[in-house]
Amino acid sequence: MRTSFWVGILFGTVTACTTTRDDSRRTLDWLDGNLAPASHTARMVLLPVAIPVGACGVLADTLLVNPACAVDDAWWDTVDVLWTSREESTLRKALFTPLAALATPVVFVGDWLWRCVIPTPPRSEVVPVPTSAQKPEAKS
Amino acid sequence: MNGHRLLLWCLCAMLPACAWARRENRPVWNAFEEHLVPQSQGAFLATLPLTGPVGLLSIAADTLVAHPLQVVDDAAEDAADLWRQVDLDADYYTEAGFAPLRAVATPVWFCCSFVGRSLFDVPSAESRRLDAEQVAAERRAGALQWFAALVAGGHRGPRRSLPEKFDAELFAAMDDCLAKTSALGRLAVYREAWKNPSMSEHVDWGLAFADSSAVVRFELLLEAPASIQVPDAVMAKLAADPEEAVRTLAKQPRKR
């Protein structure tokens, strides 16, 4: 019991690392934006209430929101690694497809767990999504 | 205690000697050496059977008592750093939510810092601040010397990194340099400016790209990052530049 308690504390502390990123605190940002008292005095007085509420926000982000948001990125990472063709021959693709199928759940779960635990930039930061304002370059 | 354990204990005892390598970290040894060790060679050799063991005791006292006591306040400062970043006005629930984690981490971080500083020569916050101030002062002096060298006819880049933040005196020196130096000197300043946000904000890039020297105009079009904004009127003038090489470059997209 004591060992598993401390292992749980350690795991919780490590997974909370994801919540250290500014863009991985959706629940906390909502609380800060909508429920934070306006005056400094009120903030100090309500601190005994804010600490458990904030701690629940950290837990919600760490254990629920961030893992849920990581599913999409983990899926597209998997597609990128295993199912995106890089000018391979047809034979190579045919031979690799069963292996890719077998590896898909492994890579997906591994990538998802990695994104749940380690602070990782979301795919939208690493792979910019083209907006409607960007026009393709005109060919000369 | 058998031989292997004794050897292991001695090796572990020697490990903290890493902190002992710095003079400031061995007050007991310094006092012993200054007041009890004879200066003359004859007396030194005669008293060696006594000074040797006492010297070892003083090393042990430094390693196990004196230096750890010296670093307690630095370790406390390191632990206090965890709370200095708290800004309840900016992120109320976020900072409040992380407070329990900070409270748990504080004694852990204190112990880690204390052990690390006891074992190894880790500069204190005060000495780091003094080192940073010295580096900043040297960079500032280096920047002023570089601008003066450019005005005197040089055109090479600075020998050391320029300050991250320029003050009024440095900006005045830069403006004076741009007004008096050669084309290659101006180019050297612009090359540093687009790497330094503080300098880049001060430089009039419209004026830079409209430089009187075609070499400067060409090199800026070729090398300046696309993040440097150039007024459309200046780009239009460059597209009609007397120099063909500049005209050609002005019509191409700039590098990212």
E strand map for chain B: none
The answer to whether the pTM exceeds 0.90 is: no
- Which token pair is B3? 């031989």
- Chain A residue numbers with beta carbons less than 8 Å from the beta carbon of B94 are 25, 28-29, 31-32, 54, 57-58
ipTM score of the complex? Answer: 0.72
For residues B252 and B147, give the distance between their C-alpha atoms in angstroms, rounded to a whole number: 32
**Residue B125 one-letter amino acid:** A
- Chain B residue numbers with beta carbons less than 8 Å from the beta carbon of A51 are 96-97, 99-100
- Chain A residue numbers with beta carbons less than 8 Å from the beta carbon of B87 are none
Where are the domains positioned within chain B?
18-31+48-119, 127-250
pLDDT, tens digit (0-9, with 9 covering 90-100), for B86-98? 888 888 999 999 9
pLDDT, tens digit (0-9, with 9 covering 90-100), for B107-159? 999 999 999 998 888 887 778 888 889 999 999 999 999 999 999 998 888 98
Q: What is the CA B254 to chain-centroid distance, rounded?
A: 33
pLDDT, tens digit (0-9, with 9 covering 90-100), for B158-184? 988 999 999 999 999 999 999 999 999
pLDDT of residue A127: 54
Residue of chain B nearest A40, judged by CA positions: B89
Cβ atoms of B174 and B202 within 8 Å: the answer is yes
The stretch A85-114 carries a mean pLDDT of: 87
* CB-defined contacts A:B, below 8 A: 61
- Which token pair is B160? 């050391």
Q: Which of A16, A57, A137 sits opposite B93 (nearest CB)?
A: A57
User: Alpha helix (H) ranges present in A80-139?
Assistant: 90-117, 123-126
Compute the radius of gyration of chain B from its Cα atoms. 30
Min Cα distance A124 → chain B (Å) is 20
